[in-house]
Amino acid sequence: MKKWSALSLDIVLLAALALAPLYLSAYHLSLLGRFLALAVLSLGISVIWGWGGILSLGQGVFWGLGAYVLAMHLKLTGLAPGDLPDFMMWSGLDHLPAWWKIFEHPAVAIAGVVVIPTIAGGLLAWLVFNRRVSGVYFSLLTQALALAFSTLLISQQAYTGGFNGLTDFSTILGHPMIDPGFQRNIYWITLGVLVLASIACRWLTHTAFGRVLVAIRDGESRVRFLGYHPAAYKTIAFAFGAMLAGISGALYVVHVGVISPAMVGVIPSIEMVIAVAVGGRSSLTGVVLGTLLVNFGKDWISSAMPEMWQLAMGALFILVVTALPQGLAGIPGLVEKLVLWSKGKREAKMADQPAIALVEKD
Amino acid sequence: MGTPLLSVENVTVSFNGFNALDGMSLHLMPTSIRVLIGPNGAGKSTLLDTIIGHVRPSAGRVVFKGHEITRMDEYKIVRRGICRKFQAPGILDNLTVAENLNLAARRHRECWRSFSVGLNKEVRAQVERVLTLVGLNDRKHALAGQLSHGQKQWLEIGMVVASDAELLLLDEPAAGMSHDESAQTAALIRELAKQHSLLVIDHDMAFVDQLDAPVSVMHMGRMLREGTLEEIRNDPQIAAVYLGRVKEVSVA
Ligand SMILES: Nc1ncnc2c1ncn2[C@@H]1O[C@H](COP(=O)(O)OP(=O)(O)O)[C@@H](O)[C@H]1O
Ligand SMILES: [Mg+2]
């Protein structure tokens, strides 16, 4: 029963997204496209936080790595042969560094978008989880990393474009980026990537890996004493989340045409987590909805009352944490509970259901 | 007499200068039960911690099936065939009984071999066998957190058995159980000894009596005496350091 209603919600959501180009204005479609790109990141956070219990406040780093790698590629393809990006010339560089040049080739750039964040995330996780750093210490560590990352990007003006970041892209794979037809295509591509990412997450969480991950979240030492190596499982989960973050960052750059340190630092990293909390961190459909809702809300509030946005975000977070710990995904359960309660079936065992219904009977 | 399955040789463990284990030695044969008793703080739980790799000794060695395991990681020691039941039930409350057992029974625990959906036949069969063994067949789909205290203890014993370890370390398996439950647990342990070696810690002399196995007495981090329960009971020195106090404990 539950399974079917969840599946039909997925189908309705997918249909609504697939038909969006028919009923949304160009402006709103472009917003939706960039928010769908962010939803790819949210799926990754859902796996590492909802299933793995690992709260990262530094996903902006991996997202930013993917975004910057693609932005470097876009910057290079717009140049005449032998030219340097404008900010490099202003900074007095006289030749293109080799680690920039390699991303000129689109295949290298795309591979870099996927591989670099994955390796960075995997390496960090392996070092940290093998030292049994976890919980709030891990969250603080990742937050510090986000701060260091954005600071580094600002300070290396000659190589990163500094505070302004990378922008003024003209073409991607030979297509002019301002073309309206291109905008539509990029929407389809983003939706396709989101669907693939969400299938990958569903598969991963249904494998033995997913079950062990949940068990580690609920009782790491018990699982260790059954002969599992928790650090290995957590590392793979984290690297997977970092990979989705990188892909998301790259897609986002294609949508908005700019990447800067302000988009990858501490505040954006926290906003990413809030969107997931609002959607319900252990629901793969919930986090997509949460991401869309929070970001459309952000767009609306910050154009109406720009100074209110951070306040609203904070209030929303407090509300979700205190009143709706399972986010939007918790609402059906809550409604069901209310209905049962009003029928007088107080002893219904709703409260005792596991937070995640991923583990099938047997 | 053959070679021991497990040898603990002169192990010393200190916490901030205090020796919780102080030259402790113990040898266990395959398919046997050994009961470990001793007053609170004698170092029994610390001995299990040391065997399983949770605590690193400052001196001495632990040898299992002819291989030294003294400073290995916990999960590697477990994969070699030692599994432990904790003093406080260490089950996963949010998983069902069957899921807890599935987790314990999986043969391949390496991360890279975990990307498959569903359970293989041997694991299923193993889980069914263990469910019957520990008498939790009708609670199979209940959440572990909803079991009674005694059932939780059995589930954890079941997990240890399902892991297919040769050596099972049971820390106070009958603690908090009713008289009947504890008799059932003793019968279960005797049954398990047909295929496994068990090192069982307990306080309750009535329970120990039912295990009908050699007893080792620990005191202040080392072995005080080994013998049958009868011999231990009649030893005046042990009565002095220990048995008098145990009576109070087991009555309570
Ligand atoms: N992690 C630890 N840190 C400090 N002292 C400990 C620790 N674990 C055990 N001890 C001490 O070691 C002694 C033996 O403890 P334990 O092995 O739990 O005894 P038992 O299980 O025989 O009751 C006790 O005095 C206890 O306080
Ligand atoms: Mg103890």
The 3-class SS string of B192-248 reads HCCCCEEEEECCCHHHHHHHCCCEEEEECCEEEEEECHHHHHCCHHHHHHHHHHHHH
Interface test with B, best of A129, A131, A225 (most B CBs within 10 A): A225
Torsion, Cα A299 A303 A307 A312, to 10 degrees, reads -40
Q: Which residues of B touch A359 (CB under 8 A)?
A: 95-96, 99
Is residue A177 pLDDT above 90, yes or no?
Answer: no
User: Which residues does residue B24 pair with via DSSP β-bridges, in sequence order?
Assistant: B11
User: Which residues does residue A344 pair with via DSSP β-bridges, in sequence order?
Assistant: none
Is residue A260 pLDDT above 60, yes or no?
Answer: yes
Q: Is A225 on the interface with B (CB under 8 A)?
A: yes
Distance in angstroms between the alpha carbons of the first and the last residue of chain A: 17
What residue ranges do the domains of chain A occupy? 23-326, 328-362
Burial A217-231 (b: 16+ CB within 10 A, else e): bbbbebbbbbbbbbb
User: DSSP assignment, residue A227?
Assistant: T
ipTM over 0.95: no
Q: Is B96 on the interface with A (CB under 8 A)?
A: yes
A residues 227-246 lying closer than 8 A (beta carbon) to B: 227-229, 232-233, 236
Q: Report how many Cβ contacts below 8 Å link chain A to chain B.
A: 94
What residue ranges do the domains of chain B occupy? 1-81+197-252
Of B91, B95, B109, the CB nearest to A227: B109
CA distance B33 to A337: 50
> Structure pTM?
0.90
Q: In Å, how far are A195, A335, B30 from B33, measured between CA atoms?
A: 56, 54, 9
Is residue A237 pLDDT above 80, yes or no?
Answer: yes
Of B78, B106, B143, the CB nearest to A352: B143
CA distance A360 to A352: 16
Q: Is B74 on the interface with A (CB under 8 A)?
A: yes
Q: What is the pLDDT of residue A15?
A: 94
Q: Which residues of B touch A202 (CB under 8 A)?
A: none
H helix runs in A305-352, sequence order: 309-323, 331-342
Q: What is the pLDDT of residue A83?
A: 87
Q: What is the pLDDT of residue A170?
A: 83
Q: What is the pLDDT of residue A340?
A: 84
Is residue A146 pLDDT above 90, yes or no?
Answer: yes
Fold of the domain built from segment(s) B1-81+197-252: Rossmann fold (3.40.50)
Report which of B162, B174, B156 is spatially closest to residue B105, judged by C-alpha positions: B162
How far apart are the CA of A206 and the nearest CA of chain B, in angstroms? 6
Report which of A225, A224, A240, A222 is spatially closest to residue A130, judged by C-alpha positions: A224
Q: What tokens does B91 get?
A: 């089950």
- Higher pLDDT: A243 or A135? It is A243
The enclosing H or E element of B37 equals strand B33-37
Starting at the edge strand that comes first in sequence, how are the strands of the sheet with B215-219 ordered?
Answer: B82-85, B167-171, B197-201, B33-37, B215-219, B222-227
CA distance B190 to B35: 12
Of B92, B114, B124, the CB nearest to A222: B92
CA distance A188 to A182: 10
Of A207, A225, A226, the CB nearest to B115: A207
Q: How many CA atoms lie within 13 A of B215 on its CB side?
A: 23
Stretch A105-125: mean pLDDT: 97
Q: How many CA atoms lie within 13 A of A242 on its CB side?
A: 25
Residue A361 in contact with residue B140, Cβ under 8 Å? Answer: no
CA distance A216 to A208: 12
Q: Is B99 on the interface with A (CB under 8 A)?
A: yes
Q: Is B116 on the interface with A (CB under 8 A)?
A: yes
Q: In terms of C-beta distances under 8 Å and separation of at least 24 residues, what long-range contacts does B171-176 make, across chains too?
A: B171/B44, B171/B45, B171/B48, B171/B84, B171/B85, B171/B86, B171/B87, B171/B201, B172/B87, B172/B201, B172/B202, B172/B203, B173/B85, B173/B200, B173/B202, B174/B202, B174/B204, B174/B207, B175/B87, B175/B202, B175/B203, B176/B149, B176/B150
Q: Tokens 């599935």 sit at which residue?
A: B102
For residue range A15-69, list pLDDT tens digits in order: 999 999 999 998 999 999 999 999 999 999 999 999 999 999 999 999 999 999 9
Is residue A310 pLDDT above 90, yes or no?
Answer: no
Is residue A163 pLDDT above 60, yes or no?
Answer: yes
- pLDDT cut 70: percent of chain A above it: 94
Q: Is A131 on the interface with B (CB under 8 A)?
A: no
Whole-number Å distance, alpha carbon A315 to ligand 2 midpoint, is 47
Ligand 1: residue whose CA is nearest its atom 2? B15
- State residue B72 phi and psi, 5-degree precision: -80, 160
| Cα torsion angle, A15, A17, A19, A23, sign | positive
Q: What is the pLDDT of residue A362?
A: 37
For residue range A335-355, list pLDDT tens digits in order: 888 888 877 655 545 444 444
Q: Which residues line ligand 1 (CB under 6 A)?
A: B 15, 20, 38, 40-46
Q: What is the pLDDT of residue B117?
A: 82
Ligand nearest to the CA of B13: 1
**Cβ of B106 and A229 within 8 Å?**
no
User: DSSP assignment, residue B21?
Assistant: E
CA distance B34 to B212: 9
User: DSSP assignment, residue B132?
Assistant: H
Coil, helix or strand for B179? helix
Q: What is the pLDDT of residue A346?
A: 52
Report which of A2, A94, A74, A56 is spatially closest to residue A257, judged by C-alpha positions: A74
Q: Is A208 on the interface with B (CB under 8 A)?
A: yes
**Cβ of B95 and A226 within 8 Å?**
no
Ligand 1: residue whose CA is nearest its atom 17? B43
Give the Cα-Cα-Cα angle A290, A296, A300 (nearest 5 degrees).
Answer: 140
Walking along chain B (252 residues) 10 residues at a time, the average pLDDT comes out as 89 94 95 92 94 94 96 94 89 94 90 85 93 95 94 95 95 91 95 95 90 93 92 84 52 35
**Cβ of B96 and A355 within 8 Å?**
no
Q: In Å, how far are A55, A56, A121, A257, B226 from A140, measured between CA atoms?
A: 9, 8, 15, 31, 51
| Mean pLDDT score of chain B | 90
Q: Tokens 């008098």 sit at which residue?
A: B244
How far apart are the CA of B204 and the nearest CA of chain A, in angstroms? 26
Q: Where residue A358 falls among pLDDT bands split at 50, 70, 90? A: very low
Q: Where residue A324 falls among pLDDT bands split at 50, 70, 90? A: confident
Of A209, A215, A233, the CB nearest to B95: A215
Q: Is B107 on the interface with A (CB under 8 A)?
A: no
